[in-house]
Amino acid sequence: MKKNFMNTETRAFLIRKLLTVCPVCQKRIYGKDIDILKIDKKKISHWPLRYIHCHTNNNVPFHALTIYLDNNFAVRGNEVSNFIKIEN
């Protein structure tokens, strides 16, 4: 059985934690919105971690918010990209 990297209380807190508010559309970004529980701290070689969250809200066009997370999953900064292209 694979052991989780954090205890149940920490996991529950991180899911509910308000990380940031998008400066473009005012969407509130929570830990659950970025799948924070799937981030394995042991596999991160450089902090802050750069995480890109693509979203839309309040009739604002699709855009990307880059969130910089420290090793305690606190936001240390963010940047917005209005021009994005995602290919598969």
The Cα 3–Cα 47 span in angstroms is 23
**Tally of CB atoms within 10 A around 35:** 11
Domain boundaries, the chain: 8-81
Amino acid at 41: K
The Cα 47–Cα 86 span in angstroms is 25
- Residue 83: the pLDDT is 83
Give the model confidence (pLDDT) of 16-30 as tens digits: 999 999 999 999 999
**Tally of CB atoms within 10 A around 2:** 4
- Residue 1: the pLDDT is 43
Average pLDDT, the chain: 88
Predicted model pTM? 0.80
Give 4's DSSP letter.
Answer: P
What is the average per-residue pLDDT within 3-19? 81
